[in-house]
Chains A and B, each alone.
Chain A
Amino acid sequence: MSNPVIKGTHLCKNYGSVQAVRDVSFNVNEGEIFGFIGPDGAGKTSLFRMAATLLLPDSGNLEVCGLNVENDYKKIRRLLGYMPGKFSLYQDLTVEENLRFFASVFRTTVSQNYNLIRDIYEHIEPFKNRRAGKLSGGMKQKLALSCALIHRPRLLLLDEPTTGIDAVSRKEFWSLLRRLRDEGITVLVSTPYMDEASLCDRIALIQNGQILSTDTPDVVASAFEHQLFAVKARDMYLLINILETCPFVRSAFIFGQEVHVTINDYRNADEDKLVNYLSDKLADVVVYQTKPNIEDCFMELMSNKTKKG
């Protein structure tokens, strides 16, 4: 296998007393979509800023495209496209002016790499004379992505590109990312939304500045070692309260109209125990075994971390 496009080892970053990144190591391989999955404040943006050479780690080593972020930052910047979480284009320049500006900064032209951005830019081209500040959320995102791609970067850094974007635009956006990956561009992306994890080739679950788990989404999900039950009842609020105080319930989390439950002594776990316990307290109880998803795993890993202190 070729060298990783990003190689981070034992990265740390503190802001005063806040430990934003705590001993994080990860590799992003050539040609993959790698996702940081975690809530606000997990340290995702700090890691992005480090990879973009805008922030130096306090300790640890970080190489991007085989170059050191401290010594070779000028070379690295030419090789990457960075789309920050906050819309950072020039609001008072038009769509077309922004695109031309970014092309000229990278000493290229819009026409030179137009085929790479055509699919994205076509959506916003009818508005090319509109000021960027006046675009809708979905269109701003498409323009920002076009600007980040205009010099055909080797690595694309996308910090929470889908936050606040509706489901239809999000779906489109992810299919665009897959197309870019197939063009040979490596993508590092972050999201607080667990359901987007399955759209990545590999993921790192991240919380409180630490990586909880790194692998393909399927392997991360398969590490969940407890038997998981989905429980339904007519009165949801009563159900969750009863489950949370049930002596043999190990964990109980609401998932939409169901509660996902694990029980102590999971080797002997079966539905009947739960059904018997709940049936005389609640109406319309349904219990069945279910498959853990990334969100189940994330919460499991979070609580393991807390228990270990």
Chain B
Amino acid sequence: MKTDKIVISVKNLIKDFGSFRANDRLNFDVYEGEVFGFLGANGAGKTTALKILCGLSRPTSGEVMVSGCNVYTQSNLIKQKIGYMSQKFTLYEDMTVTENISFYAGIYGLNFKQIKNKTMQLLSSLGLEGEAHKLIADLPLGWRQKLAFSIAIVHDPAIVFLDEPTGGVDPVTRRQFWKMIYEAAAKGVTVFVTTHYMDEAEYCDRVSIMVDGRIAALDTPANLKEKYNASSMNEVFLGLARHTSNK
């Protein structure tokens, strides 16, 4: 992990919905090529912050820069510089593998030649040449997940947001997926991950934990475990996120 270049900078971010403060003075930086974990219980304010970082929602106040763009004035530019993948995959089930690749690459403005090259490159690196013309619906879950990730970075974005990416796949496939994430990070892509599963937090370079709209902790998994005298990230999380249900 390099710490010389900041790609996401958040200063005093506040987001209110009426009288409810969903994000309460968030402050953090994310570095280029970092795998950054963004954790929090349901309702802690993760999704609100994520939407702001993706340029889909405006903060109430505070300074937020994403890949050199101001979220107030350049939100459309942000969308070109980021990739996004959610647990629900965002692939079209009734389209084939190559159709999905072309579709997304086209949306991100790649030209015909680039799309052709990217498609070949992607199929071969995923070992999906034989499945190029199969429908997504007919692919096993693990392959879809890897394809969805590759498509999320098809336009070589500066940052890729992974919203609970690896639920439900077998442990071997899950590790192949994390290896792809590390590979992207090694190439300089910043990876911003939200997850409910604390064992996944252990894969991140640094982790932030949101509680009730605030960032309660932010550090490397090893430092957090040491600080809170815990043997796992699960213990760290449970110690911080006192129960706040019924909200």
Partner-B contacts on A (CB < 8 A) = 38-42, 123-124, 126-127, 136-139, 163-169, 171-172, 192-195, 207, 236-238, 240, 253-257, 295, 298-299, 302-303
Do A168 and B41 touch (CB < 8 A)?
yes
Is B170 an interface residue, CB under 8 A from the partner? yes
Interface centre among A139, A165, A257 (most CB of B within 10 A): A257
Interface of A (DSSP majority class): helix
Q: Which among A127, A137, A167, A299 has the highest number of chain B CB atoms within 10 Å?
A: A167
Q: Which residues of A contact B140 (CB under 8 A)?
A: 41
* Inter-chain contact A167/B237, CB cutoff 8 Å: yes
**In-complex Cβ contact of B41 among A167, A193, A298, A299 (8 A):** A167
Taking a contact as CB atoms closer than 8 A, the residue among B169, B178, B198, B234 that contacts A254 in the complex is B178
**Stretch of B10-18, B151-159, B181-189 that contacts chain A:** B181-189
**A256-B182 contact, Cβ under 8 Å, with A138-B245, A167-B234:** no
A166 and B42 contact, Cβ closer than 8 Å, known pairs A41-B140, A172-B243 = yes
B28 partner residues in chain A, CB cutoff 8 A: none
A139's partner among B141, B171, B203, B245 (CB-CB below 8 A) is B245
| Partner of A163 from B167, B169, B182, B185 at Cβ < 8 Å | B167
A-B pairs with lowest CB-CB distance, top 3: A256-B202, A39-B170, A40-B168
**13 additional contacts (CB under 8 A) given A167-B234, A194-B171, A237-B183:** A38-B170, A41-B141, A138-B245, A165-B196, A167-B198, A167-B241, A168-B41, A168-B243, A195-B199, A195-B234, A237-B182, A240-B182, A255-B202
The CA-CA distance from A171 to B140 in the complex, in Å, is 30
Report the nearest B residue to A42, measured CB to CB: B170
Q: Using an 8 Å CB-CB cutoff, how does the interface string of B147-179 with A read, 1 for contact, 0 for none? A: 000000000000000001001111111010011
- Shortest B43–chain A CB gap in Å is 7
* Minimum CB–CB distance for B197 against chain A, Å: 7
Q: Which residue from chain A places its CB closest to the CB of B242 in the assembled complex?
A: A168
- A234: nearest residue on chain B (CB-CB)? B1
Interface string of B191-213 (1 = CB under 8 A from A): 00000111100110000000000
Rounded to whole Å, the gap between the CB of A262 and the closest CB of chain B is: 14
Cβ-closest chain A residue relative to B178:
A254
How far is it, in angstroms, between the C-alpha of A302 and the C-alpha of B169 when the chains are bound?
A: 13
A193-B197 in contact (CB<8A): yes
Report the nearest B residue to A298, measured CB to CB: B171
B126 within 8 A of A: no
Q: B125 interface residue, CB < 8 Å from A?
A: no
Q: B246 in the interface, Cβ–Cβ < 8 Å?
A: yes
Contacts of A38 on B, CB cut-off 8 Å? 170
B42–A169 CB distance below 8 A? yes
How many angstroms from the CA of A165 to the CA of B198 in the assembled complex? 12
Contact in complex: B42, A299 (CB < 8 Å): no
For the complex formed, measure the closest distance between the CB of A303 and the CB atoms of chain B, giving whole angstroms. 8
Pick from B164, B241, B246 the residue with the most CB of A within 10 Å. Answer: B246
Chain B positions within 8 Å of A168 at CB level: 41, 237-238, 241, 243-245
Q: Quote the shortest CB–CB distance from B188 to chain A (angstroms).
A: 12
Write out the residue numbers on chain B whose beta carbons fall within 8 Å of the beta carbon of A167.
Answer: 41, 196-198, 234, 237-238, 241
- Contact indicator A254/B170 (Cβ below 8 Å): no
CB contacts (< 8 Å) of B216 on chain A: these are none
Complex contact A39–B202 (CB within 8 A): no
Q: Contact: B175 with A254, CB < 8 Å?
A: yes
Q: How far is the CB of B194 from chain A (nearest CB, A)?
A: 11
